[in-house]
């Protein structure tokens, strides 16, 4: 009989390397927000993969990068803390781009962490393999091989499922023997408030300028059951604040005549209703918190 394995794997990589999309593909459902904009993940998201022979808990982190702000430094600290507590590290390097300075920076950080005793094995993953031809993918895999000492190198495509099962097998093979860590059927331990904030943030980032992702924070102020003796089905009032750093960014989020904010509310509400299992009235307010990424007090107030 095969010995049951369980443990944690951290998915890391530079911003926009496909980490959140890979997390969702491995779990088989959406637990992490995805966006075409860099640095969209601000919280550690745990997705749980259940198999008859194993349980794999995935930790999705912000992109590891050279920090330019206090927020950036705190996100980097979060990643490094996570790496010291997991059983396997999954390092994402997108196949549609050449190995660059950001990848080399992370590889150097991993090498430094790897010098300690009991360092976690690292699986290098060529993400977005569907966006690269055979020749380009072969060159990319050679570049990854030259970058460091990896436990394995696996090309995958999270969008079409290419080699997702192979990667799952490789990572589970590196986990220690142990019992299941979460109840069967549970796919994340992320609090509902954070998941709701992330759904709203994802909707707000669609199709907007590059400057916005770094400047947008979402805080769920309250979730209140709608009262009423005649109410046949449950309904919640969800009140949310979206913080940006400048008035010009506020105008981008709201849009002409409130059109963008209405789109954000309509898009996010679908995911929130699925999450809560009830109808939702979503009240979105956009506020300016000047230069919050560089202000320790405001960072703390916004949950960083």
197 and 164 belong to one structural domain = no
C-alpha closest to that of 102 among 177, 228, 16, 212: 16
How far, CA to CA in Å, does 265 sit from each of 43, 218, 245?
21, 13, 21
pLDDT-derived band at 154, boundaries 50, 70, 90: very high
Each residue's pLDDT tens digit, 1-47: 678 999 999 888 887 788 878 888 888 766 555 544 444 444 455 68
Same domain, 240 and 98: no
How confident is the model over 85-120, as pLDDT tens digits?
789 999 999 999 999 998 998 898 788 776 655 578
pTM of the model: 0.60
Q: Where is the domain boundary, 144, 173, 202?
A: 173
Instruction: Assess whether 147 and 240 both reside in one domain.
Output: no
**Position 179 in a domain:** no
* pLDDT tens, residue by residue, 178-227: 998 887 766 665 567 777 888 888 888 876 655 565 678 888 888 888 77
The CATH number assigned to the domain holding 43 equals 3.40.50.300
Looking at the structure, do residues 78 and 214 belong to the same domain, yes or no? no
Cβ-contact 155, 129 below 8 angstroms: yes
109 with 159, same domain: the answer is yes
Distances (CA, A) of 55 to 17, 47, 125, 183: 25, 11, 20, 10
**Residue 68 pLDDT greater than 80, yes or no:** no
Query: Angle at which helices 247-254 and 259-276 pack, to 10 degrees?
Result: 70
pLDDT digits (tens, 9 = 90+) for 225-277: 877 666 567 788 888 888 888 888 888 888 888 888 999 899 888 888 877 77
Are 169 and 286 members of one domain? no
Q: How confident is the model at residue 169 (pLDDT cuts 50, 70, 90)?
A: very high
Which structural domain, as residue segments, surrounds residue 132? 5-173
Q: Quick check: 171 pLDDT over 80?
A: yes
Q: Tell me, rounded to whole angstroms, the distance of Cα 179 from its chain centroid.
A: 26
Same domain for 10 and 155?
A: yes
Claim to verify: residue 20 and residue 106 sit in the same structural domain = yes
* Count: domains in the chain: 2
Q: What is the CATH number of the domain that holds 233?
A: 3.30.300.20
In a domain, 274, yes or no: yes
């Amino acid at each position: 009989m095969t010995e049951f394995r369980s443990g944690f794997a951290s998915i890391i990589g530079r911003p926009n390397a496909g980490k959140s999309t890979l997390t969702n593909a491995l779990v088989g459902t959406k637990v992490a927000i995805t966006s075409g904009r860099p640095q969209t993940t601000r919280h550690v998201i745990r997705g749980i993969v259940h198999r008859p022979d194993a349980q794999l808990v995935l930790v999705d982190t912000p992109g590891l990068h050279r920090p330019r702000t206090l927020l950036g430094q705190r996100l980097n600290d979060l990643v490094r803390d996570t790496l010291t507590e997991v059983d396997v590290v999954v390092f994402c390097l997108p196949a549609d781009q050449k190995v660059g300075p950001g990848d080399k920076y992370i590889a150097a950080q991993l090498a430094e962490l790897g010098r300690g005793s009991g360092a976690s094995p690292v699986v290098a993953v060529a993400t977005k393999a569907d966006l690269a031809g055979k020749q380009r993918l072969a060159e990319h895999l050679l570049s990854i091989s030259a970058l460091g000492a990896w436990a394995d190198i696996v090309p995958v495509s999270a969008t079409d499922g290419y080699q997702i099962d192979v990667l799952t097998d490789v990572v589970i093979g590196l986990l220690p023997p142990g019992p299941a860590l979460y109840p069967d059927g549970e796919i994340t331990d992320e609090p509902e408030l954070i998941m709701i904030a992330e759904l709203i943030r994802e909707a707000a980032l669609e199709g907007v300028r590059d400057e916005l992702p770094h400047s947008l924070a979402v805080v769920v102020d309250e979730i209140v059951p709608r009262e009423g003796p005649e109410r046949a089905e449950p309904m919640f009032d969800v009140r949310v604040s979206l913080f940006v750093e400048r008035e010009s960014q506020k105008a981008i989020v709201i849009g002409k005549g409130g059109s963008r904010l209405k789109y954000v509310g309509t898009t996010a509400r679908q995911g929130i209703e699925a999450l809560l299992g009830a109808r939702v009235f979503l009240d979105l307010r956009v506020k300016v918190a000047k230069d919050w990424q560089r202000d320790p007090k405001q960072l703390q107030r916004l949950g960083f």
